[in-house]
Amino acid sequence: MQNAKDSFYMALRARLATIDPERTILLRGAERPGILVEEAEAPFSQFPNDVFVLRWLGMAADMDLSSTMVAEQCEIVYQTCGTQSFGGLDRGRALSTMDEELMAMLQPFYTPKLNYAATPAATMLTNVFWDEPMFTPIVIQRDQLSRSASVMVYSYQEEGE
């Protein structure tokens, strides 16, 4: 499933860079698109604002098919306090913008599966695909608005995975 998870993340990262090139994060001295995978980063005491954080949850497999299909739930968490120039009073608009960006990043609902353990990444034989997102209600915590969306990410297991 690691190749599918990596391919999903890299597809969303590339799509975000196109949709909103200004949504970035400075992480370990490098500026990159404002999306990260929680399990691949040092622990956060608090998630960064205005960034999409992917969190991988439960996994399942269907072995009754001609090829084993695996699925893993991905929760995408994001939050904002709005902008300083508006004193945070635009935090609702900022969260709505992130909602729209996430919906745009997820379409189309598939991407080629690549093996990122190789350099350059090697194209595999199948695609990674996912369901439409399920959004949670907005959570208000003092001056911060947050939300998460959940998608099931699917992939067929290939030989050697």
Give the pairing of strands 35-37 and 52-62.
parallel
Percent of residues, the chain, with pLDDT higher than 70:
98
Distance CA 11, CA 52 (A): 13
Residue carrying the six token digits 């945070």: 88
Distance CA 106, CA 96 (A): 16
Q: What is the pLDDT of residues 142-151, one digit of tens each?
A: 899 999 999 9
Distance CA 151, CA 130 (A): 6
User: According to the model, what pLDDT value does residue 88 have?
Assistant: 65
Confidence of residue 27 (pLDDT cuts 50, 70, 90): confident
Contact assessment for residue 127 and residue 113, using Cβ atoms and an 8 Å cutoff: yes
CA distances from 43 to 8, 37, 38, 93, 147 (A): 21, 11, 8, 28, 20
Q: What is the pLDDT of residues 67-125, one digit of tens each?
A: 889 999 999 999 998 877 766 678 889 999 999 999 999 999 999 999 999 899 999 99
Q: Which domains does the chain have, with CATH numbers?
A: 2-156 (3.30.2000.20)
Q: What is the pLDDT of residues 123-133, one digit of tens each?
A: 999 999 999 99
Report the half-sphere exposure of 70 (CA within 13 A, side-chain side): 14
User: According to the model, what pLDDT value does residue 87 have?
Assistant: 67
Tell me the two tokens of residue 134.
Answer: 């399920």
Confidence of residue 12 (pLDDT cuts 50, 70, 90): very high
pTM of the entire predicted model: 0.92
Confidence of residue 51 (pLDDT cuts 50, 70, 90): very high
